[in-house]
Amino acid sequence: MKVIGIETSCDETGVAIYDSDEGLIADLLFSQIELHQRYGGVVPEIASRDHIRKTLPMIHEALEKAGCTARDIDGIAYTAGPGLIGALLVGASIAKSLAIAWEIPALGIHHMEGHLLAANMAEQPPSYPFVALLVSGGHTQLMECRQQGDYQLLGESVDDAAGEAFDKVAKMLGLGYPGGPEIAKAAKDGDRNRFTFPRPMTNKPGLNFSFSGLKTFVLNTIYDLDHLERQDIADVACEFEDAVVDTIRIKCERALEHSGLNSLVIAGGVSANVHLRSVLDKMTRERGYQLFYPEAKLCTDNGAMIAYAGWQRLLAGQSESLDIHVRPRWPMDELESA
Ligand code: KG4
Ligand code: ZN
């Protein structure tokens, strides 16, 4: 069975083909970063227009790369939400139109479920039930995952998502976008003992996160420094990364205790962070838990995770009507079981 996946929820156009026998047989990604860079963030209208330009040619290219034609495709999956409405509508309209033309089912995928299921494409996939930490530019959530589609929210950020905090702090430090990889790079030369930033909401019970106070704390530190030298940037980046990672580690440990489960799956753009992976690796090993994550290139937005999630839902006999409908806001615990 072959499923094509289309991701257009934000500033990356992703198109991939997942084959149930051979795995990923095409995986294309176009990042719009350069188009948005001079505005200091993603401009929704520019994003939609570029998805219109890129998606169809990338679908043709993916078919070519995979050595197949439209006739070989059994289903077409697209990101139906959450995300930017215009950007989502581009993927949804193209997917539904091709579903009509090719006479195959269309499957609207939840972007965060796509991130989560990317871990199943790894050599050692997790088995249900487990605790999932979803950390991206728009979400920071802890979920109890009982089976595919049966998710219960345990806690989430009450303000900024972790990735958003990385992006904003990078901007304050004069680093590029997206901020996560830039902070991680700068942090390598940092002195871990120079600053002490707060670990928000770790002294209170509960599984929610908050990163906006930490962001303000960093801003004040930068004001106090007045002029930023290269070493200052490295030291702030290093302690900021430590503070976010430490906070996440404490909440993950708490979620595992609270749920009584012993597997942790991390997914979403921030889960590519090497320091986060090594701290969670250490914690899970010491406490007798198991940690799972997708390979680094499948942590950030991509079409592969959408193709894979689509295949899982197609296997379960799901498909949807051909009217075009997207959900810019979409709580993941409202999904149906596969
Ligand atoms: O999952 P993703 O590609 O898009 C959303 O669904 O939001 O996540 C993007 C976010 C950005 O905020 C980016 O700065 C962050 O993930 N990110 C990282 C790293 N790579 C990407 N954050 C920390 N460390 C990284 N290595
Ligand atoms: Zn994402």
Q: Give pLDDT tens digits along the chain (338 positions).
A: 999 999 999 999 999 999 999 999 999 999 999 999 888 789 999 999 999 999 999 999 999 999 999 999 999 999 999 999 999 999 999 999 999 999 999 999 999 999 999 999 999 999 999 999 999 999 999 999 999 999 999 999 999 999 999 999 999 999 998 999 999 999 999 999 999 999 999 998 999 999 999 999 999 999 999 899 999 999 999 999 999 999 999 999 999 999 999 999 999 999 999 999 999 999 999 999 999 999 999 999 999 999 999 999 999 998 888 888 899 999 998 898 87
Q: How far is the CA of 222 from the centre of ligand 1 (A)?
A: 23
CA distance 125 to 219: 40
Q: What is the pLDDT of residue 321?
A: 81
Q: How far is the CA of 60 from the centre of ligand 1 (A)?
A: 28
Report the atom number in ligand 1 closest to the C-alpha of 300.
Answer: 3
Q: What is the pLDDT of residue 323?
A: 84
Report the atom number in ligand 1 closest to the C-alpha of 163.
Answer: 12
- CATH 3.30.420.40 residue ranges of the chain are 2-116+298-334, 128-293
Residue from 196, 167, 199 nearest 273 by CA: 167
CA distance 154 to 47: 32
Q: What is the pLDDT of residue 79?
A: 98
Q: What is the pLDDT of residue 39?
A: 85
Per-residue buried b or exposed e for 173-205, using 16+ beta carbons within 10 Å of the residue's own CB:
bebebbbbbbbbebbeebeeeebebebbbeeee
**198 upstream amide cis, omega within 30 of 0:** no
Ligand 1 probe mutation, 112, 117, 156, 166, most atoms within 8 A of CB: 166
Q: What are the backbone dihedrals phi and psi of residue 78, each rounded to the nearest 5 degrees, phi first?
A: -145, 160
Interacting residues of 334 by C-beta distance below 8 A, sequence separation 6+: none
Q: How many CB atoms lie within 10 A of CB 46?
A: 16
Report residues whose beta carbon is within 6 angstroms of any ligand 1 atom. Answer: 10, 115, 136-138, 163-164, 166-167, 178-181, 184, 268-270, 272-273, 300-301
What the block records as the tokens of 302 is 């991509």
Report the atom number in ligand 1 closest to the C-alpha of 83.
Answer: 6
Residue whose Cα lies nearest atom 19 of ligand 1: it is 180
In the chain, which residue ranges form alpha helices assigned H by DSSP? 33-37, 44-66, 85-102, 111-117, 162-172, 179-187, 212-225, 230-259, 274-287, 304-315
Considering every ligand atom shown, identify the ligand nearest to the alpha carbon of residue 165 and give its number: 1
Q: How many CB atoms lie within 10 A of CB 244?
A: 29
**129 upstream amide cis, omega within 30 of 0:** yes
Contact status, residue 71 vs residue 101, Cβ threshold 8 Å: no
For 128-293, which CATH superfamily applies?
Answer: ATPase, nucleotide binding domain (3.30.420.40)
Q: What is the CATH number of domain 2-116+298-334?
A: 3.30.420.40
- Judged by phi (left if over 0) then psi (alpha if -120 to 50, else beta), residue 80 lies in alpha
Q: What is the pLDDT of residue 40?
A: 76
Q: What are the backbone dihedrals phi and psi of residue 6, each rounded to the nearest 5 degrees, phi first?
A: -125, 125
Q: How far is the CA of 45 from the centre of ligand 2 (A)?
A: 18
Q: What is the pLDDT of residue 206?
A: 96
Give the helix/strand (H/E) hosting 31: strand 23-31
Q: How far is the CA of 114 from the centre of ligand 1 (A)?
A: 15
Residues with CB under 5 A from ligand 2 (ion): 136, 301
Report the atom number in ligand 1 closest to the C-alpha of 178.
Answer: 14
Q: How far is the CA of 186 from the centre of ligand 1 (A)?
A: 16
Interacting residues of 111 by C-beta distance below 8 A, sequence separation 6+: 7, 9, 79, 81, 82, 83, 301, 306
Contact status, residue 171 vs residue 156, Cβ threshold 8 Å: no
Q: How far is the CA of 64 from the centre of ligand 2 (A)?
A: 26
